[in-house]
Amino acid sequence: MPHLPSFAYARPDEILLPVKPWFVILTLILGLIGNLIPVSGVALTLQPDFLALVLLYWCIQEPRMISVGMAWCLGLLMDVADATVFGQHALAYAVLAYAAEYFRRRVLRFPLWQQAAQVAVLLLFCAALVLLVRVVGGAPMPRWTYAVGPLVGALLWPVLTILLQWPQRLRRSQAER
Amino acid sequence: MRHISVEPPPFFHRGPSPFARLAFFGLLSLALLFTDTRYRYLENVRQVVAVALYPLQRVVQLPGEALAHVANYFSSQKELAGDNAALKQQLLAEAPVVQGHQLLQQENARLRALLNVEKRFQGATIAAEVLYSGRDPFTQKLFVDKGESAGVQPGQAVIDEVGVVGQVTRVFPYMAEVTLVTDKDHAVPVKVERSGVRSVMYGAGTGRLPELRFLSPNVEIQAGDRLLTSGIDGTYPAGLAVAQVVSVERETGQIFARVTCKPLAGVEKSPHLLILGRAAAIQQRPEEPAESDTPRKGRGRRRG
């Protein structure tokens, strides 16, 4: 039986294997699929923006692979999927990617749950940007539940980080044996 | 503590700086936002991307569909027999109405032929199923599984078994976007069933009830009145149930009464919808002689 790494955040001194590009693309597609899940009512309020979350993770971990341009393209996809105005998600994701690149060194210094708090701020900022674009465009103000999705997203951050980091640690621990 | 430089060392070539990229893509987004809200140039791009996204959307539907199939399989025969009997009874109960309706339709068609009036609505109705409701919290939209390939066109009215749900606003090859009657500023011309008062029902956005605007305080309307489509817009056929009046506030000092109403159809709930045939092209409103749309037209007319 292969030795599996513990289900926890990598220690700061642990050197991770380089990430496989196909894995990044796969997780981004899964994030997109997560956003397309047909839900309604309370579930819709709770549904975080999975794609933004995965994007944020890769922008923080692998800024040389995923950055503003990629985020912008994924934003355009979300604009079509949500039937919103072209450029709304694209702008929000591009700014999110830039903010991630700017703050990544700071975010990575903290333990997971404190990272989640910082991610909450970033996701709320992203949502506020969308709100601004829409309200300028003449949409009515949404209710306060609008902020629930980003907060749920931030709560998912520790789990997501551990999951996405796992393949990079798995091989490592096998090699050690 | 040593200061760690934010700038990468020059020997790592990384293309334009993040801020330059942000500026470029940010401006591009703003340009797109402007173009898409002002002009509708980008609908073709949207179509292409929508087709590319379609497989993913179907993949997401699969687990739900599989679950529904399994549930169907295990529903007991007794239940089905009960349902069947109830439906037959219902069919029988509604038979006189339907037969009367057919008779009326024939009569109507004959009278219209006599009067030389064009048929107001044509084309077949299309049954559709809701794929998912839009995630955008600012608008009230949903997506149905029939699109251009099934003959859906923008502007068609969408109803469920109780009343009007909305209107097709965008058509993709395999699906269509329906804007619900509760969407902000979506207008439905209605009339009060009891008194025949005509008005327009405006949606108010997520979580708020639609309202009738610009009705004078002495208008013949009360809570509980049913609103039907009046059919004068050429989009919704006349006589479809739309909503029920919830409250009428008549305040002295206000120019208009405040009338809120609740949609009758399960606007956000019904899984099965019917897309009605397209309205025949209605005649253009005659131009008023006093004012013209553009100065050029006006000059032309004066000259001629």
B244 bridge partner residues: B226, B262
Say if residue A31 is exposed, middle or buried (CB neighbours under 10 Å; 0-12, 13-18, 19+).
Answer: buried
Would you say residue A95 has pLDDT above 80?
yes
Please give the share of chain B, as a percent, with pLDDT higher than 90: 15
pLDDT score of B24 = 93
Mean pLDDT check: name the lowest of A20-24, A157-161, B86-90, B131-135: B131-135
Position B29 confidence tier, pLDDT thresholds 50, 70, 90? very high
Q: What is the pLDDT of residue B304?
A: 38
ipTM of the predicted structure? 0.84
Instruction: Give the pLDDT score at B297.
Output: 44
- Is A98 in Cβ contact with B19 (below 8 Å)? yes
Q: Which residues of A touch B204 (CB under 8 A)?
A: 140
Closest CA to B267 of B234, B235, B243: B243
Mean pLDDT (whole number) for A73-90? 89
Q: What is the pLDDT of residues B160-196, one digit of tens each?
A: 888 899 999 989 888 898 999 988 878 999 999 899 8
The predicted-structure confidence for A106-132, as pLDDT tens digits, reads as follows 988 888 889 999 999 999 999 999 999
- Which stretch of A65-74, B39-48, B111-120, B179-188 has the lowest confidence by average pLDDT? B111-120
> Which of A106, A7, A91, A103 has its CA nearest to residue A56?
A103
Task: Decide if pLDDT at A175 tops 60.
Answer: no
Distance CA A72, CA B17 (A): 16
The three-state (H, E, C) secondary structure of chain A, written as one string: CCCCCCCCCCCCCCCCCCCCHHHHHHHHHHHHHHHHCCCCCHHHHHCCCHHHHHHHHHHHHCCCCCCHHHHHHHHHHHHHHCCCCCCHHHHHHHHHHHHHHHHHHHHHCCCHHHHHHHHHHHHHHHHHHHHHHHHHCCCCCCCHHHHHHHHHHHHHHHHHHHHHHHHHHHHHHHHHC
Chain centroid offset of residue B198 CA: 21
Cβ count near B140 (within 10 Å): 24
Look at residues A30, A23, A59 and name the one whose alpha carbon lies nearest to residue A166: A23
Q: CB contact, 8 Å: B170 with chain A?
A: yes
A34-51 pLDDT per residue, tens: 888 877 778 888 889 999
Give residue-wise pLDDT tens across range B260-294.
999 988 777 778 888 987 665 666 777 776 654 44
CA-based nearest residue in chain B for residue A63? B18
**Cβ of residue B4 closer than 8 Å to a chain A Cβ:** yes
Q: Return the amino acid letter for A74.
A: L
In a 3-state reduction of DSSP, which class is residue B273? strand
Read off the pLDDT of each residue in B43-60 and give the average, rounded to a whole number.
Answer: 85
Contact check, Cβ <8 Å, A72/B29: yes
**Residue B257, φ and ψ in degrees, nearest 5:** -80, 155
Which amino acid is residue B196, in one-letter code? G
- Give B223's Cβ-side CA count (13 Å radius): 7
Residues of B (185-214) whose Cβ lies below 8 Å from A:
204-208
Taking residues B20-26, what's their average pLDDT? 92
- Residue bearing the bigger pLDDT, B82 or B135: B82
Count of residues in chain B: 304
Query: What pLDDT band is residue A170 in, cutting at 50, 70 and 90?
Result: low
Whether pLDDT at B28 is above 90: yes
Instruction: Give the burial string for A43-62 (b: 16+ CB within 10 Å, else e).
Output: ebeebbbbbbbbbbbbbbbe
Q: Where are the beta strands (DSSP E) in chain B?
A: 126-133, 141-144, 157-159, 164-171, 176-180, 187-192, 198-202, 211-215, 226-229, 241-249, 257-263, 272-275
What mean pLDDT do residues B225-251 have?
87
Query: Which pLDDT belongs to residue B283?
Result: 66
On whether any CB of chain A is under 8 Å from the CB of B26, the answer is yes
Q: What is the pLDDT of residue B42?
A: 80
**β-strand partners of B17:** none
**pLDDT recorded at residue B7:** 65
d(CA B280, nearest CA chain A) in Å: 28
| Cα–Cα nearest to B55, from A48, A32, A47, A166 | A32
Write the DSSP assignment of B87-154 as a string of letters. HHHHHHHHHHHHHHHHHHHHHHHHHHHHHTPPPSB-S--EEEEEEEE---TTS-EEEES--GGGT--T
Q: Which of A6-15, A18-27, B68-77 has the lowest mean pLDDT?
A: A6-15
Residue A32 and residue B188: Cα distance in Å, rounded? 35
What value does the mean pLDDT take over residues B35-58?
84
Question: Residue B1: pLDDT above 70?
Answer: no
Tell me which residue in B25, B49, B205 faces A140 most closely, judged by beta carbons.
Answer: B205
Residues contacting B209, CB < 8 A, separation 6+: B182, B246, B260, B261, B262
Q: What is the DSSP letter of B185?
A: T
| CB–CB contact B53 A80 (8 Å) | yes
Q: Which residue has the tokens 């997501």?
A: A160
pLDDT at B185: 77
pLDDT-derived band of residue A161, with 50, 70 and 90 as boundaries? very high
Residues B158/B165, Cβ–Cβ less than 8 Å: yes
- Beta-carbon separation of A140 and B141 below 8 A: no
pLDDT value at residue A148: 92
Residue B70 has a pLDDT of 85
**Residue B66 sits at the chain A interface (C-beta within 8 Å):** no
Name the more confident of B10 and B203: B203
Nearest chain B alpha carbon to A77: B49
Average pLDDT, rounded, for chain A: 86
**Cβ(A144)–Cβ(A129) below 8 Å:** no
